[in-house]
Structure 1
Amino acid sequence: MRIANWEVDKILIDGGSSANIIYISAFNELKLDRKDLKRVNYEVTGFNGSRLTPKGIIELSVRVGERSRRRDVQAEFLVINSPSPYNVIMGRPLIHKIGGVVSTYHLAMAYTNNEGWLAKLSGSQKTTQQCYITALKQPAKTRQQSGSERRLPEKRERKSRKRKREEYHKEKHKQKLAMENFEPAKEEMARPLPSGEHVTVELTEDEMPEIDPAVMVHRLNVKEDIRIVRQKKRSFSAEKNQAIQEEVENLMEAGFVEPRDYPEWLANVVMVKKANGQRRMCVDFTDLNKACSKDC
């Protein structure tokens, strides 16, 4: 495979990767200019468990195959500064662009050439084995940065989580003491509601402290063969935008949500009008619900 008019070997074709990746060592060998990098502000998680912030993203010319099997495309690559036995990872974006179908059993990939005909690319069993053994020797997790530059943000984040847990336990202790010291009068004690009556209680965000991760953690059980869906941004009226802004600020203030940039699943909010005229903000999880296994 040729990238930026240079022959490149040790390429991992990974259908599980949501991005094409070129490692910094290969980036330098190709004599590419860092001025061409576009900045990104999100992290990626590697197959070795490391969490890294890319140096940037760059668009490069790619040629798969030669002569009658040739396929020329433009593809974007995230530039990663991390040790790797590979020079490049071909992710789903590039695989889909060339119409590729990968067979790990045959160590081959079928794709369409420039004329639209079927072509095949075969890998090297020896090189594959060498890269696999090298990958196993690498540590489970690596750090992109060293020293105070990387440790300080992580230290602050750990302190923040610890402080929130302490505040949660203090609040629970106060509630427990209040309930133990509370002795209601007989006329104030709870009584059964008459038949047909019901009570609706609506709590605000600040009245519901966060759940300690030691108690419960929510994870999504997404099926492996599901295509990631990034919903296009929806437009709202000025009134709805103001309601969304207020609701997000309330959730952030209560510690329910935090700003985060995700390169994968993205869902829009939906504003629903309540009976009292106010609006409730919901999230359109239709695509994500389809991708997750049912609980029962």
Structure 2
Amino acid sequence: MGIDRLRLRPVETPLHGFAGDRVISEGAISLPVTAGEGQSQVTLLVDFLVVNVPSVHNIILGRPSLNAMRAVVSNYHLMMKFPVEGGVGYVQGDQREARRCYSVAVRKGSVKQALTINALDPRDLAEDTSIEDLITVPLEEADPSKTVRLWSSLNSGQQAQMLAFLRDHKDVFAWSHEDMVGIPPEIMVHKLNVDPDHKPVKQKRRAFEPKRYAAIAEEVSKLLNVGFIEEVHYPDWIANMVLVKKGTGKWRVCVDYSDLNKACPKDNFPLPRID
């Protein structure tokens, strides 16, 4: 970026990371940031803290900047939208480009170097056309069906350490319904806070195509066999199944609890004010 360090303003307040580590910033600088393209873009002045820590990130926008843009971020859609004059602007993320950028940073050793105010050279990104992939490794040699996926750029020593760690804690993996033993009622019991004055709702039976019926029967059989659910002969509440297509092409079996949710009083303060 070619910014003179003399433009940095001194900052005395340290930064604290997630692990509780304390970092002293080298200073603060105000830079204009433009998001969006063409007529659907917004520009604002953002205060950045420059720190000398190992990182693959060039800049990080905090909540004050996102709030100033009135931006809405969706990690699932890799998109950020914000209001602009006469419409809505957006920034679309690119997972392939992010992986390529990370690969260049790791290969050039920037993970172990200090983070500076200089941006990553776009020519470095143009030279690198590889995309890091995941490799499938069996977690148990006796059972090849139990596998984990590791980053392909890990060397043999790192892969061995990661596999050893995962194998030492393989008891936390749930490969099937039978592996989920549940929580003893003596420790915790979940109950529905249903309003007693609310009349129970029995939804009308919905019809499905044969493939969906087969998916429902398979899922219900799994839950019955492991004791997660039990049959009720005279239910007060009846809710239909809802099937959602997975990315693998299989069906995810859900339950329509919209009527039951309406009968449960709402908590006006479900979470503390984290801000």
Q: TM-score range by the shorter chain?
A: 0.3 to 0.5
TM-score norm. by structure 1 comes to: 0.34
Between structures 1 and 2, the one with greater helix share: 1
- Bigger RCO of structures 1 and 2 (CA < 8 A, at least 6 apart): 1
TM-score normalised per structure 2: 0.36
